[in-house]
Chain A
Amino acid sequence: MPRLGIDLVDLEGYVCCPAFGTFPSLDEDAHLAVSAWNLSLGEDKGVDLLVECGSCYSSLRLGRALLARDEGRRERVNVLLAKAGKHYEGKAKPRHIIDVLYHEVGVDRIRESLESTLAGTHAALQHPCHTLYPSEVVGFEESPAAPRVLGELVRALGADVREYSREHHCCGGAGGFRHSSHAEAYRYTRKKLDAIRNETDADYIVVSCITCLMHLDEAQKELSGNNGDRPIPVFDYSQLLALCMGFSPGEVAAISTVSRDRVTERFAAV
């Protein structure tokens, strides 16, 4: 990010975003106090928060929106925060990484920063739900029904983007679905993976959410079993960007079970 003109500072004393299955499912004041805790860390330093994980992003955005909607909530939360010597005003904004890359850095600067490209490769996209809906709270696309940002960013790396029928569906990996209904959730994900395999010649899937990444990756291991489906490696956008910017495949941390060698070997060679 510094090479792209974005300075990063670590926030000290961060806690879980909170994930929707935690405090937001237990108590509203606890939910908002934890959101405000994290947001106040950015506020104190005068910075916005950069987030990659879809649900962290959505949770922080919803917390901020709920606090903005109602003064009573803000007051209650500030009484709670005062116990820890903190205060919340709502100045720091959570921003998703692809929003920042597209709207702050811009595709031109990204193109200029590349040492190699993905020219000649084909990508299928997984748009993280949490960056699209509800657009009023989390949105940064002109049209949430036809998101463009991730595709434009992938094209900036030289890849061709392949569309498919279930592109706008959820990956199926978030929340309780996968836990309450394991078989049904994987069947749901399978429909997406099958659509990518049958309708496109994608070499890899690009996501921008850690849950999408881990779920689409692990689901392939779980689902392929013995039926020889074509495996499709899954990358976070920032991993592909880093590879094209010249970082070595080893540095771009390997959180995956599906082998990515077919895609990364082109970078090892340069």
Chain B
Amino acid sequence: MTALSEANLDLWRDLEGGDVLRICLTCGSCVSDCPASEADPPLLIRTLLRMVELGLEDNLLEEDTPWSCVTCSRCEEVCPMDVRPFEICLALRRWQCRNDSTRIPLSTTEIYQRGYTQPVDRVEELRRSVGLSGKLPVITADPELLAKFQAMLMEIDVIRDHDFMFKG
């Protein structure tokens, strides 16, 4: 538990979109219809926003709940103050990744390596069986383009700093 005297009151500055947190009314509308509020432990998006506002860094680094979000954006629709809680939930995940590399989603390394997380090539047979062309013109069909895509992503700090994960 972080003592409030040790809290990082500038934490909101590290989160994209964090400046709007100060206008949050703490009304709770964002949680009221959130599917992931039924998760265990529950995703309580309003509480997470308050924790950012209060600068409770250590607690937030440990929080797994931002990753339970179903990305439905109901919270954004109902928020009376346009705080965009879902966007902040994503910003919170990014902040966690910057501070704890074990949080980096493995799916990003898959996209780096083959453009997709889904095994797109496995649908080729199904496509052929229903009379569609088997090969999809996705990025792996063009190795030169894939290399350019990878070079582009390597320009990004968090990817370059963990290039061993991405290059596989």
**A176/B68 in contact, CB under 8 A:** yes
**B148/A135 in contact, CB under 8 A:** no
Give B65-104 as 1s and 0s: 1 = Cβ < 8 Å from A's Cβ atoms.
1011111111011000000101100110110010000001
Q: Name which of A26-34, A89-97, A217-225, A228-236 contacts chain B.
A: A26-34
Contact with B152, one of A25, A84, A176, A181 (Cβ below 8 angstroms):
A84
**B159/A27 in contact, CB under 8 A:** yes
Q: Which residues of B contact A177 (CB under 8 A)?
A: 35-36, 39, 43, 68-70
Q: Which residues of B contact A26 (CB under 8 A)?
A: 93-94, 97, 104-105, 108, 158-159
Interface set, chain B 107-134, CB cutoff 8 A to A: 107-108, 111, 115-118, 126, 129-131
Is B155's CB within 8 Å of the partner chain A?
Answer: yes
Q: Name which of A105-113, A126-134, A155-163 contacts chain B.
A: A126-134
Q: Which residues of B contact A137 (CB under 8 A)?
A: 73
Contacts A170-B70, A175-B69 given; indicate if A83 touches B64 (C-beta within 8 A).
no
Q: Which residues of B contact A83 (CB under 8 A)?
A: 148, 151-152, 155
Contacts A28-B94, A83-B148, A83-B151 given; indicate if A23 touches B111 (C-beta within 8 A).
yes
Chain B residue total in the interface (Cβ 8 A): 57
Is B142's CB within 8 Å of the partner chain A?
Answer: yes
A206 to chain B, nearest CB (A): 19
Q: Which residues of A contact B40 (CB under 8 A)?
A: 181, 183-184
**A12/B141 in contact, CB under 8 A:** yes
Is B163's CB within 8 Å of the partner chain A?
Answer: no
**A10/B137 in contact, CB under 8 A:** yes
Contact with B139, one of A13, A33, A58, A185 (Cβ below 8 angstroms):
A13
Contacts A26-B108, A180-B64 given; indicate if A11 touches B137 (C-beta within 8 A).
yes
Q: Which residues of B contact A188 (CB under 8 A)?
A: 35, 38
CA distance A74 to B157 in the complex (A): 18
Contacts A15-B138, A133-B77 given; indicate if A251 touches B36 (C-beta within 8 A).
no
The chain A residue sitting closest to B116, CB to CB, is A16
Is A246's CB within 8 Å of the partner chain B?
Answer: no
CA distance A174 to B26 in the complex (A): 26
Is A42's CB within 8 Å of the partner chain B?
Answer: no
Is A117's CB within 8 Å of the partner chain B?
Answer: no
Is A147's CB within 8 Å of the partner chain B?
Answer: no
A197 to chain B, nearest CB (A): 20
Q: Which residues of B contact A175 (CB under 8 A)?
A: 36, 68-72
**A24/B90 in contact, CB under 8 A:** yes
**A55/B71 in contact, CB under 8 A:** yes
Q: Which residues of B contact A16 (CB under 8 A)?
A: 111, 115-118
Contacts A135-B77, A177-B68, A184-B40 given; indicate if A13 touches B108 (C-beta within 8 A).
no
Q: Which residues of A contact B73 (CB under 8 A)?
A: 58, 129-130, 133-134, 137-138
Q: Which residues of A contact B126 (CB under 8 A)?
A: 253
CA distance A28 to B158 in the complex (A): 11
Is A103's CB within 8 Å of the partner chain B?
Answer: no
A238 to chain B, nearest CB (A): 13
CA distance A84 to B149 in the complex (A): 6
Starting from the known contacts A30-B153, A58-B71, A177-B43, 10 additional A-B residue pairs (CB-CB under 8 Å) come to A15-B138, A15-B139, A20-B90, A22-B107, A25-B67, A27-B156, A37-B149, A83-B148, A144-B77, A176-B70
Q: Which residues of B contact A (CB under 8 A)?
A: 16, 35-36, 38-40, 43, 64-65, 67-74, 76-77, 84, 86-87, 90-91, 93-94, 97, 104-105, 107-108, 111, 115-118, 126, 129-131, 136-139, 141-142, 145, 148-149, 151-153, 155-159
9 interchain pairs, CB-CB under 8 A: A21-B67, A23-B111, A25-B94, A129-B70, A133-B76, A175-B36, A176-B69, A180-B64, A185-B38
Task: Report the 7 A-B pairs with minimum CB-CB distance, sorted nearest first.
Answer: A129-B72, A84-B148, A175-B70, A181-B39, A134-B76, A133-B73, A133-B77
